[in-house]
Amino acid sequence: MNKRLIFVLAGFSLLACNFLFPQKASPTLNPEISSSENEQILELAELTIVRLHRQAGDLQAMLATESKKAAALGQVPVVEFDATWCPPCLAIDSAIESRNELILSAYRGIYIIKLDVDEWGWSNSGVQNFNFDAIPVYFKLDAEGNQTGEVIDGGAWGEDIPENIAPVMDEFFYSGK
């Protein structure tokens, strides 16, 4: 009799826990190429990540819009080209998703605008004014969505670990500020 009561109470406790502390769907930084809507993938206190889709409109107009949103948040707009098949790109996404302190510290105050190369193409296939030959690659934008000329790719750090990435990106993001 006591055992049955314990089982019933345990069941109720589990239900109550789920109700009181619902599990949030973990954000994924992987793109959905078929989408026609731009996505806000992640918004932490001082880091925003959005992904732009080709079907959603003109790239330069969207970059201008996103840069204004970044300015309103007091964040620096940065375009990142990535791809689902790129292990180094995934390494950075994973570090952000797992809330790696070094990476989050380096990316503090940044507004990442992700563009998938399989959707937008490489620099030689029509992505206006963006010149690159490897990913991940980051382009700083000004408040109007234009490139500032500051660019960095994964070649700037060695092995893809937060200890290597964080200081390099921190310097890149905050240089000239």
d(Cα 161, Cα 88) in Å, to the nearest integer?
A: 9
Give the x-and-dash track for 61-100 against another protein (CB under 8 A). ----------------------xxxxxxxxx---------
Q: Does 12 help bind another protein (rule: CB under 8 A)? A: no
Q: Does 35 help bind another protein (rule: CB under 8 A)? A: no
Element of type H or E holding 76:
strand 76-82
Q: Does 134 help bind another protein (rule: CB under 8 A)? A: yes
**How far lies 87's CA from each of 30, 69, 83, 91, 161, in Å?**
12, 29, 9, 6, 12
* Between 33 and 71, CB nearer to another protein: 33
Interacting stretch for another protein, rule CB under 8 A, among 13-21, 36-44, 50-58, 150-158? 150-158
**How far lies 39's CA from each of 8, 86, 112, 148, 170, in Å?**
43, 20, 12, 24, 25
Q: Does 136 help bind another protein (rule: CB under 8 A)? A: yes
Residues 6+ apart with CB under 8 A from 119: 31, 33, 53, 54
User: Which residue from 52, 31, 155, 33 is spatially nearest to 111, judged by alpha carbons?
Assistant: 52
Q: Does 157 help bind another protein (rule: CB under 8 A)? A: yes
Interacting stretch for another protein, rule CB under 8 A, among 11-19, 39-47, 64-72, 159-167? 159-167
Q: How far is the CB of 132 from another protein (least distance, A)?
A: 10
For another protein, the binding residues (CB under 8 A) are 83-91, 117, 122, 133-137, 153-160, 164-165
